[in-house]
Amino acid sequence: MRIQEFLDHCAASERWVRDFYTFLAERFRADPRCSGLFGQLAEEEEAHACGFEFLKPIAARSAPQIVVNDRFLADFERMRRGLDKVRHRVESQNGSSLPDVLGLAILVESTTMERDKLAFVSVEDRDFQRVLDGITACDEAHRKKLEEMRDSIAVLA
């Protein structure tokens, strides 16, 4: 049952990140390029949440072939608290800094990607691995897009 619970946590964390990007898309709506990127990322985080939900019946079918290192459970809670904190900070400041926000988003993507790579210690089910790899590849693409945005802003500054 641990794998099912873990997948629930994964899906929930994708939705926290989705909500964070939705918030940023709104917060930075004056900058269409930035707002567009955050909006797109939010949609893809929802797709990741669905991906983890899609994995649940596969895991039910093939557990105990899937071994989870639940040391990463603490990461979910830490990430949720971190996102809440930054959101409050951005809400309470009028001139929240875009580079700071991008830096945090890059960190969130890296953390999620590492967790998804390391938490599933052993997966023998190929369907499960394929979906998981797709989610990880998408996080990697998110990180690249965020880095490009950060670098293009640095050039203008």
Query: How near is the Cβ of 18 to Fe ion at its closest, in Å?
Result: 8
Q: For residues 66 and 148, what is the distance between their CA atoms, to the nearest angstrom?
A: 35
Closest CA to 83 of 17, 31, 37: 17
Q: For residues 21 and 27, what is the distance between their CA atoms, to the nearest angstrom?
A: 9
Q: For residues 52 and 102, what is the distance between their CA atoms, to the nearest angstrom?
A: 25
Query: How near is the Cβ of 146 to Fe ion at its closest, in Å?
Result: 12
Query: How near is the Cβ of 64 to Fe ion at its closest, in Å?
Result: 26
Closer of 132 and 139 to Fe ion (Cβ): 139
Amino acid at 82: G
Closest CA to 55 of 142, 139, 116: 116
CB closest to Fe ion, residue no: 48
The footprint of Fe ion on this chain (CB under 5 A) covers a number of residues equal to: 4
From 25-33, 52-60, 84-92, 138-146, span contacting Fe ion (CB under 5 A): 138-146
**Should residue 48 be labelled a site residue for Fe ion when binding is judged by CB under 5 A?**
yes
Closer of 90 and 139 to Fe ion (Cβ): 139
